[in-house]
Structure 1
Amino acid sequence: MAARIPAYRQAQTAIKQYIEDHHLQPGDPLPSEGQLAKDMGMSRLSLREGVKTLEAVGILEARQGEGIYVKAFTFDSIFENLPYSFASDGQSLRDLLQVRTALEEGLVGMVASQVCPEQIGELDALARQMVQKACDGQTFEDEDRAFHLTLYRPLNNPFLNRLVELFWEVFRRLHGSTGVTHWNLEQTAQDHVAIVEALRAGEAEQLTQAMHGHFRQIKERLDPQNSPDAQTPDPPQPRQPVHK
């Protein structure tokens, strides 16, 4: 016998179907709670529970004294919960880096033909700030985040911007929780300088290679034992016979 679906889950499904059937857009209001419960043939309590769960995942927004509205899609609910779905270990960080690398390396070449001089100037200023802070022994998380968001702005893709922001922030949180300390500040800053120089040259392939070098450096930081610069331990020496 199939398990009975809880009333609040039925309410969730019914509300989402109502939004789809009535072609409601972000910012559109839903009917009053009483009317909606009547239309869906359920109790107000079940409807209220369904609304609460859909609020929690960012589909609905209940405005005090105004009613219930369809909410614009964002990654906010994912953003708040995703870090806790990852284990605080190096493997989770490497998995996320693999996805982030594929996303940014795959799209950065498109920026070369669409970026304007003003945006290159913004990126150049951020890269210079990173270099200065690195020379002073300071980290530059704010500048790093702003750099990557500014870099993809010419593509005019809000969905991409939110993904880049999401991956960047979750990566930062995981990075902090794993205790990774191998971070060459100056090299990281110079990676961003190389990206700006490739943008100025207008060469998509050069830009992709610059981004590839940046992420390769991050990967080596996470796996220092696999870095080309890692020292290979000397092979064990044969034991000398002991003469008595």
Structure 2
Amino acid sequence: MLLERLTNHHLSEFLRYLASEVCQDEEHLPSLSELSARLGVSISVLREQLEVARALGLVEVRPRTGIRRLPYSFRPTVVQSLAYAIALNPEYFSAFSDLRNHIEAAYWFEAAARLSEEDCEALSRLIERAFQKLQSQPIQIPHPEHRELHLTIYRRLNNPFVEGILEAYWELYEASGLDLYADLAYLERVWSYHRKMVESLCQRNYQAGYEALIEHMGLIHQRSKPMPFQRFE
């Protein structure tokens, strides 16, 4: 009864329909005219509700295939809200970065214990590839490896909210221009910590990996490069 009251209060007719068992069995949703008749909502109102669902990443709308319900992801919601928040005040990125740091620290031991041998091998390959980029001439910034390393560590949690926040962090990180930072000494320090984290994970020495994680998180505060938040679009 409480759940029903909450959903009725916070969800539009279209979102309630998306969450229903009827909709979950459908690969493609009916047309707006059919949904309007089924839900008792005008097409104009339904179109507005559909646009909200699309902004939240809950549906996909294409000219030929129509409306398709998407698997739930928390990332689009976080990105939309955070992009707006940062447009209001760039300092919100620092607050969100702090949140991300606390989440990674809080879930480190649980996530580490769930990693498989295949995960450890994949993480080791990312370390190897990153150092190859740093040692190349000219150097290449191993940002894709940086993002994939952190997301891989926490992916086995199967927690869409943790995953959504971490994915949103990296999307905003890229939009801020931090992935373009080219100080070689800084990058080598970052990846030395990453190497220690991965080696500790593979050896199941989770405490040592945790300590490397915490030290690594402090490096971002040493960066003096201004963040061009006007790149958010």
Q: TM-score, normalised by structure 1?
A: 0.69
Give the letter aligned to residue 115 of structure 1: L
CA contact 1:54–1:60 (8 Å) conserved in 2:
yes
User: Is 1:68 matched with 2:67?
Assistant: yes
164, 173, 176: which one pairs with 1:174? 176
Q: Could you tell me how far apart the structure 1 residues matched to 2:21 and 2:119 are?
A: 41
Give the letter aligned to residue 188 of structure 1: V
Tell me the alpha carbon deviations over residues 77-127 of structure 1, each in whole angstroms, 9 at most, x when there is no partner. Answer: 643663353149763332122111111111122233332333222212211
> Which residue is 1:200 aligned to?
202
Which one has a bigger Cα radius of gyration? 1
The two structures, once aligned, show a CA RMSD in angstroms of: 3.5
> Which residue is 2:154 aligned to?
152
User: Is 1:50 matched with 2:52?
Assistant: no
| 27-36 vs 112-121, greater mean Cα deviation | 27-36
User: Is 1:134 matched with 2:148?
Assistant: no
SS at 1:138 equivalent: coil
> Which residue is 2:92 aligned to?
92
Q: Could you tell me how far apart the structure 2 residues matched to 1:160 and 1:79 are?
A: 14
Give the letter aligned to residue 72 of structure 1: P
Q: Could you tell me how far apart the structure 2 residues matched to 1:153 and 1:49 are?
A: 34
> Which residue is 2:218 aligned to?
216
Tell me the alpha carbon deviations over residues 156-201 of structure 1, each in whole angstroms, 9 at most, x when there is no partner. Answer: 4455334322212212322449989797111011010110121133
Identity across the alignment (%): 25
Give the letter aligned to residue 203 of structure 1: N
User: Is 1:123 matched with 2:123?
Assistant: yes
Give the letter aligned to residue 208 of structure 2: Q
Instruction: Give structure 1 stretches of 5+ with no counterpart.
Output: 1-11, 224-244
> Which residue is 2:111 aligned to?
111
CA contact 1:109–1:207 (8 Å) conserved in 2:
no
Higher helix share: 2
Q: CA deviation at 1:147?
A: 1.1
Q: 1:26 to 1:96 in 2, by over 3 A?
A: farther
> Which residue is 2:35 aligned to?
36
Q: CA deviation at 1:222?
A: 5.5
| 64-73 vs 210-219, greater mean Cα deviation | 64-73
Q: TM-score, normalised by structure 2?
A: 0.72
CA contact 1:29–1:69 (8 Å) conserved in 2:
yes
CA contact 2:78–2:164 (8 Å) conserved in 1:
no
Q: Could you tell me how far apart the structure 2 residues matched to 1:97 and 1:29 are?
A: 37
Give the letter aligned to residue 76 of structure 1: P
Q: CA deviation at 1:18?
A: 3.4
SS at 1:68 equivalent: strand
Q: 1:97 to 1:132 in 2, by over 3 A?
A: same
SS at 2:12 equivalent: helix
